[in-house]
Amino acid sequence: MPGFERFGDLEREELKDVLDNGVLMRYGFEGMRNGHWKAKTLEMELKNTLESNYVQLVSNGTSAVSVALASAGVGAGDEVIMPTFTFVASFEAILMLGAIPVLVDIDDTLGLDAKAVEDAITSKTKVVMAVQMCGSMANMNALQAVCSKHNLLLIEDACQAIGGRYNSKPLGSIGDLGCFSFDFVKTITCGEGGAVITNNKDYYINADGFSDHGHDHFGNDRGAESHPFLGYNFRISELHAAVGLAQIKRLPEFLAVQKKSYTVLRDAISKIPEVTFRTVPDGGEESYAFLNFFLPNLDSARKTIDNFKENGIDACWHYYDNNWHYVRKWDHLKEAKSLFPISQEIKDALNILSDKTFTQSDHYIGRNISCLIKLSWTTEEVKARAFKMVQSIKASI
């Protein structure tokens, strides 16, 4: 991760094919495109890779979450339970539909804690959204049990976790709907792009129309298509899909590279007695896109990240002090700072966050260091990095 580090001839060939053909839009223009359909072909490849019956490509991962929620009928006043540790896009996608994000604690998987989820359920709860952060997963068996007990939808935001698996299933394919991002820094990139996957035909039909102005996509005349319901424009272009089509064919290659480097780094760090690692639930396998480990306390984690920077160790983050990924610094959410008026119901729900504490999440995020695994590293660079990381950690404890 990220896939752009491995751009090569295959990506260039796919892009050239689109430019030579001249049709950059994924729909219509059948007479011009001469059978060239990059988005449709990528959707077929993703169906096979993600072992899902239906795939709908969209413009990005954020829109994938909104489209998935809307496709399942989630909207105004519905509560969506989500983790305190994620990317800001998670609550943005919920709020866009007029739904209410309900933030709950994570556990040592760095994913949703099933007990915290159950404690947060109300009569308005409609969805539990598991965010598979940093290439791994929450305890999906436990979350599935909670959703089944309370008749709730389970949606997976697997935007950072393509290639990970749980009980022999690809991450993203376990819930009622799954969401992926193919932005510039993901393992598989389209530059910008995303996907919604599901085994529910109705949800797929809804996603297909909702992401393209409500078009039903019947027949070969786009101008004659009907609009069974309101929709918006979350389309991917053929140029973006072409890049993704080249990249998805290389996913096994990328995963192998990630695993090799991850293993070298983890083996080195594991020799430090004070270091522990995020829990991967039984039956789970990470995508190896990130290495996540815990230090003894907040102070040692802060010192470690400072030492990493001083020693030239890039692409590592301490999310406790991060503006993008942890609830602690989401002041714009807590204060409901919106360019457009939002409902009083949502304001009241967000206002609760101003004084709410997440002690359990702080316990894990405060001690966690997350390191991206780059695809561009050489074997020598990985070994040198491992040595520097060990020395930096030891100096911080």
Q: Are 216 and 227 in contact (CB under 8 A)?
A: yes
> Residues 19-49: pLDDT tens digits?
999 999 999 999 899 899 999 999 999 999 9
| Average pLDDT for the chain | 97
> Residues 118-164: pLDDT tens digits?
999 999 999 999 999 999 999 999 999 999 999 999 999 999 999 99
CA 266 to each of CA 78, 86, 187, 217, 385: distance values in angstroms, whole numbers, following the listed order: 41, 23, 20, 49, 11
User: What was the pLDDT predicted at 332?
Assistant: 97
For the domain spanning 3-250, the CATH number is 3.40.640.10
Here the tokens at position 160 are: 């950072």
User: What was the pLDDT predicted at 137?
Assistant: 98
Beta strands in the chain (DSSP E): 54-58, 79-83, 100-104, 125-131, 153-157, 165-166, 169-170, 177-181, 194-198, 276-277, 284-285, 290-294, 316-317, 368-372
Residue pointed to by tokens 């807590």: 334
User: What was the pLDDT predicted at 50?
Assistant: 98
Mean pLDDT of 93-122: 98
Percent of the chain with pLDDT over 90: 99
User: What was the pLDDT predicted at 327?
Assistant: 98
Q: What are phi and psi of 294, to 5 degrees?
A: -110, 140
User: What was the pLDDT predicted at 252?
Assistant: 98
* Strands across the sheet containing 276-277: 276-277, 290-294, 368-372, 316-317
> Residues 300-322: pLDDT tens digits?
999 999 999 999 999 999 999 99
User: What was the pLDDT predicted at 185?
Assistant: 97
- Burial of 275: CB neighbours in 10 Å, binned 0-12, 13-18, 19+: buried
- Please tell me the distance from the alpha carbon of residue 111 to that of residue 280, in angstroms, as a whole number: 10
- Please tell me the distance from the alpha carbon of residue 318 to that of residue 136, in angstroms, as a whole number: 17
CATH architecture of 252-394: Alpha-Beta Complex (3.90)
Here the tokens at position 166 are: 């749980």
User: What was the pLDDT predicted at 44?
Assistant: 98
> For the chain, where do the domains classified as CATH 3.40.640.10 start and end?
3-250
> Residues 187-225: pLDDT tens digits?
999 999 999 999 999 999 999 999 999 999 999 899 999
In 288-299, which positions are buried (b, 16+ CB within 10 angstroms) versus exposed (e)?
Answer: bbbbbbbbeebe
User: What was the pLDDT predicted at 396?
Assistant: 98
Percent of the chain with pLDDT over 70: 100
> For the chain, where do the domains classified as CATH 3.90.1150.10 start and end?
252-394
DSSP 271-284: TSTT-EEPPPPTTE
- Short-list 191, 161, 229, 397, CA closest to 301: 397
Predicted structure pTM score: 0.97
Mean pLDDT of 111-120: 98
Q: Are 17 and 219 in contact (CB under 8 A)?
A: no
